């Protein structure tokens, strides 16, 4: 199936069936479609041990609002939930370049989200994707 790269998938892939958490917790700037290689991120947070994903959704919604209003190089941001595991939420993000992502991560809203997630015992992570011969890869 993978021709000259048989070891591309050494373990079964993780498959997420995602849905938007809300129509208001997302935005897309028209110029995202003009970028030939945007910096794309898939971030996730799992059920915290001392809180709820609803609490994280509220905090993450503020991150979305701030990014839309004050980060012109954040081209797409959508808060999503895993349909099969409602305790897993995350985002799909696209930036003009990696520098725009790094700037986003320094915002007080993102730092507050990460700090709050740690306080309530949640786990967060992200994967950056890149174009490889026309396909997204990590």
10 belongs to a structural domain: no
State residue 70's pLDDT score: 97
Q: Residue 131 domain-assigned?
A: yes
- CATH number of the CATH domain containing 102: 3.30.70.100
**Predicted local confidence at residue 46, as pLDDT:** 80
pLDDT of the residue at 8: 63
Confidence at residue 1, expressed as pLDDT on a 0 to 100 scale: 42
Is residue 2 a part of any domain in this protein? no
Overall number of domains in the chain? 1
Residues in the chain: 138
Residue 74 lies in a domain: yes
Report whether 82 contacts 16 (CB < 8 A).
yes
Backbone angles phi, psi at 131, to 5 degrees: -80, 130
Q: What is the pLDDT of residues 27-80, one digit of tens each?
A: 999 999 888 889 999 998 887 778 777 888 888 999 999 999 999 999 999 999
pLDDT at 108: 94
Confidence class for position 7, pLDDT limits 50, 70, 90 = low
* Domain, as residue range, for 75: 18-137
**pLDDT of amino acid 116:** 87
Residue 8 is assigned to a structural domain of this protein: no
pLDDT at residue 95, rounded to an integer: 97
In a domain, 115, yes or no: yes
Quote the pTM value: 0.83
Q: How far apart are CA 103 and CA 70, in angstroms?
A: 11
> How many whole angstroms separate alpha carbon 87 and alpha carbon 80?
11
Residues 77-125 have pLDDT tens digits of 999 998 988 888 899 999 999 999 999 999 999 999 888 888 888 888 9
């Amino acid at each position: 199936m993978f021709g000259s790269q048989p070891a591309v998938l050494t373990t079964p892939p993780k498959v997420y069936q995602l849905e938007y958490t809300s129509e208001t917790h997302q935005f897309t700037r028209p110029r995202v479609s003009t970028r030939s290689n945007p910096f794309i991120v898939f971030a996730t947070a799992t059920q915290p041990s001392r809180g709820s994903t609803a609490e994280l959704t509220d905090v993450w919604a503020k991150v979305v609002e701030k990014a839309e209003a004050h980060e012109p190089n954040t081209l797409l941001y959508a808060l999503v939930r895993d349909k099969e595991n409602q305790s897993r939420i995350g985002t799909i993000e696209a930036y003009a370049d990696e520098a725009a992502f790094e700037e986003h991560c320094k915002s007080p809203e993102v730092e507050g989200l990460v700090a709050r997630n740690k306080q309530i015992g949640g786990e967060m992570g992200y994967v950056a994707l890149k174009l490889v011969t026309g396909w997204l890869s990590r």
